[in-house]
Structure 1
Amino acid sequence: MRNSIKSFINLVYLCCATGLAVFILTLLGRLVGAGLAWNVKEAFPFSFKDVWICLELTWLGLPAGLSIWFFYYR
């Protein structure tokens, strides 16, 4: 690891980018699932609880970014 600062910046970028991708994909999946299960006569079945689940799953971006960095950049 000749340039450790550049390597660290790549690590931070990868973790943030994979976390954002996980958030977008889970939010989209929850919205599609809620839309498919929606009875039009009732309220739309998407709540803050679903957004909270997506935010919790965003933490999966950290180990994914670490593994990509470890096997690709290092």
Structure 2
Amino acid sequence: MSIETMRMEVIVAPMTAAEREEFEARPWNTTHSTSLYLEMGINQTRKAINAGELPGIRVGGQIRVPTARLLALLGE
């Protein structure tokens, strides 16, 4: 397997129950932790936020996801 192929095959383990609880308890989350929670890629998560499909607020040069709004959107 080449280096190029190995870079493309990044496997991300799903969040544990404890990690999901911790995510849900925070008022804000990063795009990275949100992508793990939703089990989708970081780029797909960013695109959904930029398109207004997921809630997100720019803070400086970073995007933060308001947890309560996300969970309400998901019906949780």
TM-score, structure 2 normalization: 0.22
For normalisation by structure 1, the TM-score amounts to 0.23
> Larger % of strand: which?
2
